[in-house]
């Protein structure tokens, strides 16, 4: 678990898996030190992760099988400096929080697809919560247009962050994470507070790698949060989104040739794929059962 100097500035992992090292993770997310568990430390860790590790589906489009295993995910994101989809990003963050002495809980969410306007199946998305300073905090480092820092798990909570304006809303036993776009609210995902385990997401991890109803299977993309902006590669396009106050945004799009994509991934996102990428940007099919 968490160990450090008396002042709490340096930490390391004492996990039996010697290939997984907290210090290497911190370097991956551009942090030199970590502090003992606190809200300010959690905010810093969360922010650095989303600004350093992209949300991406490129394994699916370059011949790599995604495995729901902490050591495999660690190797991909920390050692190979890749990104991943929610199970990978939030899975790694789950392990990190556990190692640092937090006590995260796992929740399951269903994402509302902005293209076909329906929610995905159960276990469609993984999110985390942490209790600190008498409140429960929602953490999510695996959603491309999501929060930069944790937000309180409170009905009606509204907050503007660098990536937009967000709010939480409750209907019955379901919670809705919403994002403001101009003057309207758009639901990102819905969830309940029933605690889950990481293993509960294995079936949906396979689904997102193989189903034509999944954005990850139908589109090759890589998206990284920047200060007040987001950079996204998708198919044969590069999209730069600049966020403006109050939930607005300005987008610029650049067309790419297939030959330009590997260099772009290296220069803009900081990694080289081990397999040949097959660019893909196909329509998402509506599933027979919602």
Q: Where are the domains of the chain?
A: 22-199, 213-269
Average pLDDT, the chain: 92
What percentage of the chain exceeds 70 in pLDDT? 93
Residue range 61-72, pLDDT digits in tens: 999 999 999 999
Tell me the mean pLDDT in the region 110-118: 90
Return the pLDDT at 8.
32
Question: Pick from 106, 99, 121: which is nearest to 68 by CA?
Answer: 106
Return the pLDDT at 140.
98
Confidence tier at 9 by pLDDT (50, 70, 90):
very low
Instruction: Report the C-alpha gap between 269 and 131 in whole angstroms.
Output: 32
Return the pLDDT at 289.
56
Is-contact 202 91, C-beta < 8 A? no
**Burial state string for 223-242 with b = 16 or more CB within 10 A and e = fewer than 16:** bbbeeeebbbbbbbebeebe
Q: Is the pLDDT of residue 130 over 60?
A: yes
Sign of torsion over alpha carbons 175, 155, 107, 17 = positive
Instruction: Report the C-alpha gap between 185 and 160 in whole angstroms.
Output: 13
Tell me the mean pLDDT in the region 18-25: 87
Return the pLDDT at 248.
86
Q: Report how far apart, in Å, the C-alpha atoms of 75 and of each of 42, 80, 84, 109 are.
A: 23, 6, 12, 26
Q: Is the pLDDT of residue 31 over 70?
A: yes
Tell me the mean pLDDT in the region 283-287: 87
Within 8 A by CB and 6+ apart from 248, the residues are 182
CATH of domain 22-199: 3.30.2140.20
Catalytic residue among 125, 139, 205, 208: 125
Q: Are strands 125-132 and 158-161 parallel, antiparallel or unpaired?
A: unpaired
Instruction: Report the C-alpha gap between 131 and 22 in whole angstroms.
Output: 21
Active-site residue, 222 included:
no
Within 8 A by CB and 6+ apart from 26, the residues are 11, 32, 33, 34
Global pTM? 0.92
Q: Report how far apart, in Å, the C-alpha atoms of 180 and of each of 119, 135, 150, 201, 215 are.
A: 18, 24, 17, 28, 22
Active-site residue, 208 included:
no
Residue range 177-206, pLDDT digits in tens: 999 988 899 999 999 999 999 999 999 999
Tokens of 52: 């350093």
Residue range 33-60, pLDDT digits in tens: 888 999 999 999 999 999 999 999 999 9
Residue range 230-275, pLDDT digits in tens: 999 999 999 999 999 888 899 999 999 999 999 999 999 999 999 9
Instruction: Report the C-alpha gap between 271 and 13 in whole angstroms.
Output: 25
Is-contact 43 35, C-beta < 8 A? no
Catalytic residue among 86, 139, 205, 222: 86
Return the pLDDT at 286.
85
Active-site residue, 86 included:
yes
Is-contact 52 29, C-beta < 8 A? yes
Tell me the mean pLDDT in the region 90-113: 97
Tell me the mean pLDDT in the region 90-115: 96
Is-contact 42 132, C-beta < 8 A? yes
Within 8 A by CB and 6+ apart from 62, the residues are 273, 274, 275, 276, 277, 278
Catalytic residue among 11, 140, 208, 222: 140
């Amino acid at each position: 678990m968490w160990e450090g100097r008396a002042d709490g500035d340096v930490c390391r992992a004492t996990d039996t898996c010697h290939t997984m090292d907290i210090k290497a993770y911190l370097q991956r997310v551009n942090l030199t030190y970590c502090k003992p568990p606190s809200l300010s430390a959690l905010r810093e860790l969360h922010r650095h992760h989303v600004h350093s590790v992209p949300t991406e589906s490129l394994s699916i489009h370059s011949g790599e099988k995604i495995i729901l295993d902490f050591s495999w995910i660690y190797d991909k994101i920390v050692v190979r400096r890749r990104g991943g989809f929610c199970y990978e990003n939030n899975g790694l963050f789950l392990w990190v929080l556990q190692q640092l002495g937090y006590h995260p809980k796992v929740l399951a969410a269903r994402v509302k697809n902005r293209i076909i306007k329906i929610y995905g199946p159960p276990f469609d998305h993984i999110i985390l919560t942490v209790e600190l300073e008498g409140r429960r905090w929602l953490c999510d480092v695996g959603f491309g247009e999501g929060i930069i820092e944790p937000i309180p798990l409170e009905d009606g909570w509204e907050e503007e962050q660098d990536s937009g304006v967000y709010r939480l809303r409750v209907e019955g036993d379901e919670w809705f994470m919403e994002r403001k776009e101009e003057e309207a609210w758009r639901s990102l995902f819905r969830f309940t507070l029933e605690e889950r385990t990481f293993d509960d997401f294995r079936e949906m991890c396979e689904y997102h790698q193989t189903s034509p109803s999944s954005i990850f299977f139908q589109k090759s993309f890589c998206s990284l949060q920047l200060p007040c902006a987001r950079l996204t590669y998708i198919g044969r396009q590069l999209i730069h989104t600049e966020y403006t106050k109050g939930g607005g945004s300005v987008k610029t799009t650049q067309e790419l040739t297939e030959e330009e994509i590997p260099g772009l991934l290296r220069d803009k996102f900081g990694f080289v794929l081990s397999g040949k990428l097959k660019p893909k940007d196909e329509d998402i099919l509506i599933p027979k059962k919602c």
